[in-house]
Amino acid sequence: MGLIVIKFGGSSLSTTDKIKNAAQRIHSLKKGGKDVVVVVSAMGKTTDQLLGLASQITDNPAKREMDMLLATGEQVSISLLSMALTEMGTPAVSFTGWQAGIVTEKIHSNARIVDVKTDHIKEKLNEGKIIVAAGFQGVTEDGEITTLGRGGSDTTAVALAAALEAERCLICTDVTGVFTSDPRYVPQARKLPSISYDEMLELANLGAGVLHPRAVEFAKNHRVPLEVRSSTENEEGTIIEEEVSMENSLVVRGVAFEKDMTRLTIFGLKNEMTGLSAVFSELANNQIDVDIIIQSQTDGNKTNLSFSIKNKDRQAAVQVLENQKDKIGFDSIEYEAGLAKVSIVGSGMISNPGVAAKMFQVLADKNIQIKMVSTSEIKVSVVINEDKMKEAAVTLHEAYHLGEAVENVQ
């Protein structure tokens, strides 16, 4: 009997009717002869509501207590979904993240999974029961409850699929698959039948919200067969796999974008071997993610350093660096908010020169100023003004013919 891991996001469980619909789908898998492990997020806007409650108490809640609070959201989902399945005559048992054996590192609010202990799950599967596990959460070796960060339920599902050697992992969401861009912003966006792990990982890291980056990374590292599909519509989704079997003539396969970015610049940084290390070590120690980095030499033995971060991290980043100003050695810090990052992604870029040049020319023709640039073998990212983000995405999507069927692309 094969094992399926299936994940439902919060929007797919936002009402009791939707929970019953999800239960019916799970019931069908079980009736079809499959063992099933379900991973769920908190219902609808539950996480936002819990965050709102915390903000009414304090502007600076302890991360440990926030994990304790936010972990309650999934407990509602797992219990209600288990009840719905049992009501249909399909025995089910709900597990919190720690009951499901999800062991994480000792970091609150954004922990990584370090181990999955499957004995408890396997015991209940052998009894013929469906497992309904809470995503987004786990426990440290010394018993502290942790959360995996927004979107962490995807990671939970893939981690369980890898540990249990599932035949596939289904990520069921409110979209029908992975699109060439976000159809809410780019009406011509088209669903891809398949995409490689590497391309999906880049898109996820660059702002495509359909999958959590850690989930894609886990799937790639453990070769977990992954499919993104609709939680309500019965149609094929997008297969994420090692090698793309269709549409491999497309050089660029997606346009991703992310708003709420800030460019932070450190002026007069001592041009020493340890200068860069000191800056980024301090930020890393405070769990502040840095994206695009640009260094420029100035007169004398000093340099200027710019990098992009998310707006939500700006205040913390400035405070961390100012607190270590004498140790690091720099003159001043300035920042520019109101920015966005727009990226093109495609494994075909490796063997097709001129892709970046075309991107820059397309944006120049629209008078869209580029403030920062970052490249890899399969992506090019630019930082621009946020009010130009949608125009840039739509224009690039059209320029690379992403809305057309591959046989129509010249």
pLDDT digit string, tens, across residues 253-300 = 999 999 999 999 999 998 777 788 999 999 999 989 999 999 987 767
- Can you identify the CATH homologous superfamily of domain 3-174? Acetylglutamate kinase-like (3.40.1160.10)
Q: In sequence order, what are the residues at sequence separation of 6 or more whose Cβ sits closer than 8 angstroms to the Cβ of residue 93? A: 82, 124, 129, 130, 131, 132
> What integer is the mean pLDDT of 321-345?
95
175-215 pLDDT per residue, tens: 899 999 999 999 999 999 999 999 999 999 898 888 888 89
* Residue of 318 and 151 predicted with greater confidence: 318
CA distance 114 to 159: 10
Q: Which helix (H) or strand (E) holds 262?
A: strand 254-270
* In the predicted structure, residue 89 carries a pLDDT above the cut 50: yes
Average pLDDT, the chain: 92
122-170 pLDDT per residue, tens: 999 999 999 999 999 999 999 999 999 877 999 999 999 999 999 999 9
Compute CA distances 268 → 34, 100, 105, 282, whole Å. Answer: 62, 51, 37, 17
Question: For 141-237, where are the E strands, in sequence order?
Answer: 145-147, 168-173, 194-196, 226-230
Structure tokens at 225: 């067969």
> What integer is the mean pLDDT of 17-34?
95
* In the predicted structure, residue 246 carries a pLDDT above the cut 70: no
* In the predicted structure, residue 92 carries a pLDDT above the cut 80: yes
- For residue 407, the model assigns a pLDDT of 40
- For residue 23, the model assigns a pLDDT of 97
Q: Work out the percent of the chain whose per-residue pLDDT is above 70.
A: 96
* Residue of 313 and 174 predicted with greater confidence: 313
* In the predicted structure, residue 116 carries a pLDDT above the cut 90: yes
Residue 288 phi, psi (nearest 5): -105, 115
For the ranges 244-248, 265-269, 339-343, the lowest mean pLDDT is seen at: 244-248
* Residue of 270 and 102 predicted with greater confidence: 102
Give residue 248's pLDDT band: very low, low, confident or very high (50, 70, 90). Answer: low
- For residue 166, the model assigns a pLDDT of 96
- For residue 214, the model assigns a pLDDT of 86
Compute CA distances 18 → 9, 277, 388, whole Å. Answer: 11, 49, 37
- For residue 221, the model assigns a pLDDT of 93
CA distance 303 to 276: 10
Q: Which helix (H) or strand (E) holds 77?
A: helix 63-87
- For residue 220, the model assigns a pLDDT of 94
Domain residue ranges of the chain, discontinuous segments joined by +: 3-174
Residue 184, burial from CB neighbour count under 10 angstroms (0-12, 13-18, 19+): exposed
- Residue 308 forms beta bridges with which residues? 263
- For residue 305, the model assigns a pLDDT of 94
* Residue of 74 and 409 predicted with greater confidence: 74
Give residue 1's pLDDT band: very low, low, confident or very high (50, 70, 90). Answer: low
